[in-house]
Amino acid sequence: MPKQNLTQLGRKVAVPQSPEEAKLEAVPNPHGDVDYVVRFTAPEFTSLCPVTGQPDFAHFVIDYCPAKAIVESKSLKLFLASFRNHAAFHEDCTIEIGKRVAAAIRPKFLRIGGYWYPRGGIPIDIFWQTGKLPKDVWLPDTGVAAYRGRG
């Protein structure tokens, strides 16, 4: 993989106004000779309801086994933050994030869990994955408890 010019790391960068404007950046996998899992957890994700305009909140867990590239984490943080003023349903946000990460790094395996806090009294959890988990790779549980409310 050729060395890429990183445009965000080490620089003051404003949060992109939309996910379409956000740039996910990749860097070469420093351990391409072994299979392993990278986990990103974003427990304070925010987007907007496309009907009411009210904020929606989610806890995301993104796990992937890199191939030639890994996600540059600052670009991921900025990408996720770009959803703050983005109006979309839970399913759309979750799948769009998973597809964008997969397109940016072309991992061997990727799964995303979007654990959305209740809207209308119902929590919605969205799961998507692509690729196959390499043999003998440990993929831990996401660690996100089922929503219990006050029960």
Select which of 56, 63, 65, 93 is catalytic. 56
| Burial label, 59 (beta-carbon count in 10 A; 0-12, 13-18, 19+) | buried
| Burial label, 15 (beta-carbon count in 10 A; 0-12, 13-18, 19+) | middle
Is 93 an active-site residue?
Answer: no
Can you say whether the dihedral through the CA atoms of 87, 129, 102, 77 is positive or negative?
A: positive
Is 136 an active-site residue?
Answer: no
Backbone angles phi, psi at 101, to 5 degrees: -65, -45
Of 91, 102, 97, nearest to 126 by C-alpha is 91
Select which of 35, 49, 92, 125 is catalytic. 49
Which residue's structure tokens are 């979007």?
114
Q: Which residues are catalytic?
A: 49, 56
